[in-house]
Amino acid sequence: MNKCVKISFDISYPENFLRTFVQKHATSLGLEGLAQASHIEQRTIVMVYGPKDDVEAFVDVLHKGTKDVQLKNLEVEPFLKTKDYRGVFRVIE
């Protein structure tokens, strides 16, 4: 069974974090979706879609963060997949 979630968190992380951490883990789990930082709202939005267990593993990875980066105010909510991500995970800058 597939699952789609919208994840948001505060935007205090190194410049390449979305590509080197978020996209890397989403891709390694075979997930599709997108990540985009909103500098106006100071939040990052990640929409991810894939097998339920893999999506939950991805959320766990974000909760743990890295040795140097801990994501703040991380929120996860169900999301209705309304577009075709074409089987890839993209970072929109």
Which CATH number does the domain housing residue 8 bear?
3.30.70.100
Structural domain of residue 72, as residue ranges? 2-92
Positive or negative torsion for Cα 46, 47, 49, 52: positive
Tens-place pLDDT, residues 13-46: 888 899 999 999 999 999 999 999 987 888 999 9
Token pair belonging to 44:
């990052």
The yes-or-no verdict on residue 11 having pLDDT over 80 is no
Residue whose tokens read 């209705």: 80
Residue whose tokens read 């891709």: 27
Q: Using an 8 Å Cβ cutoff, are 18 and 44 in contact? A: yes
Q: In what order do the strands lie in the sheet with 75-78?
A: 75-78, 2-10, 43-51, 32-38, 89-92
Q: How many domains does the chain have?
A: 1
Q: What is the mean pLDDT of the chain?
A: 92
Question: What pLDDT, on the 0 to 100 scale, is given for residue 46?
Answer: 96
Question: What pLDDT, on the 0 to 100 scale, is given for residue 41?
Answer: 81
